[in-house]
Amino acid sequence: MYYNRANSLLSKVICMLLFILFISNSMIGRPYVKGMEPTDQSTADTNSFRLIVKSSASAAYQTEVMFTDKKLKKELDDRRLGAAFSDSLLLDTTLTYADKGLSQSFGVTLNGEVVDLTARSMMELSAHVQEVLRAQVQDLRAKHYGELLPWEEASLILPKYSKFTIVDVESGLSFEGQRRAGSHHADVQPLTKEDSATLKSIYGGAWSWDRRAVLVKLNGRTLAGSMHGMPHGGDGIPGNDFNGHFCIHFLGSVTHGSRSVDPAHQVMVHRAAGLLIPYVSKLSPWALIDVWISAANQGDLQLLQVTTGQEQAVHVRSMRRLSKFPELDVNQLLQLETAVSVTATPERASAVVNRRVLFRLERASLDARWYIRSAVMQ
């Protein structure tokens, strides 16, 4: 009798230990933010949210977190619409959850404000819920994007002959590279022929001078950078199927030839840091036109939208600026018209032609940012 009771007691203890172990394992790897409960299977259908950050709507590379928050769920279910959301630019953070079997999706600002994208209105949230969501958004964006470091500091973190991982912010494809040279930016080579193949696939299977936002990862640091994908110059790693090196720029880095900042690279550096819109919003009309030309040249629809404030099609295959910008004082202007000489390849042509593009820019006030309202090729 004593033996049977001991066995029974031992069985109960073992079952209890297995239950505790199961519960513990079910929580491993799930993010927790103060004020938000980790996702639990019993509440996943009713209070579970997914927060996603990616640099553009078409980007394959994204960072996400799952969490539950009963208060946020209740306030979103109440559907209290607040002020109109007038910003025409896209948000890089979305919040989704299931409501009665239907998926609901909202935009989220840096301050944790939830935007009903259909009604173009802000959702009314309590200060506590918005603050908790703001902390969650900022933490997730810090994990997704890179540090915006000046070239002088980035050069110390990535010394010559250091090896690191390069991640394309748009496609999410990554490969290994090594800094071989470069005093004003990093001259880099893929380590192996497999790495070279990945770099080429990022550019659609052909080497290209197009600038792309990248993350450079080394020793626990992630830096915001911009690369092109064209082999040129010296070659130092045999057998990697890459005849030369490619360049990676960082904040404030310059070209080795002209010793000048490359505007297209600087735009991509800020995109890799998650600061594209704040950066473009501070640009002068002339710098904004340069961004528009770079966007048209690369067929970058998001960049076109950032410069114009609206969706815009691309009707050229390539475009480069020829003329220098005039030195005009625009501090007291709300509108500006200027013509810029460019070389361009029309959409259905192969020959490069010289054209003039007439730009019309405006801003709402002297403190507001500039927008390109029209660009007509003559």
Residue 309 confidence (pLDDT) above 80: yes
- Partners of 225 in the beta sheet? 214
To the nearest whole number, what is the mean pLDDT of the chain? 87
Regarding the domain delimited by 41-144, which CATH topology (the fold level of the hierarchy) does it fall under?
Dna Ligase; domain 1 (3.30.1490)
The whole-number pLDDT of residue 113 equals 93
Q: What percent of the chain has pLDDT over 70?
A: 88
- Partners of 249 in the beta sheet? 226
Which residue did the predictor score with more confidence, 80 or 200? 200
Residue 11 confidence (pLDDT) above 70: no
Residue 16 confidence (pLDDT) above 60: no
Residue 63 confidence (pLDDT) above 80: yes
In which order are the strands placed within the sheet that holds 316-321?
Answer: 316-321, 335-346, 353-362, 371-377
Helix 70-78 to helix 127-144 angle, to the nearest 10 degrees? 110
CATH architecture of the region 146-282 = Roll (2.30)
pTM to 2 decimal places: 0.85
Q: What tens digit of pLDDT does each residue of 100-155 get?
A: 778 889 999 999 999 998 888 999 999 999 999 999 999 999 999 999 999 999 99
Which residues have CB under 8 Å from 187's CB, separation 6+? 179, 180, 181, 233, 245, 246, 247
Four-residue CA torsion sign, 248, 253, 258, 263: positive
Q: How far is CA 5 from CA 10, 16, 19, 227, 309, in A?
A: 8, 17, 21, 71, 76
Phi and psi torsions of 185, nearest 5°: -160, 175
The whole-number pLDDT of residue 28 equals 31
Which residue did the predictor score with more confidence, 9 or 130? 130
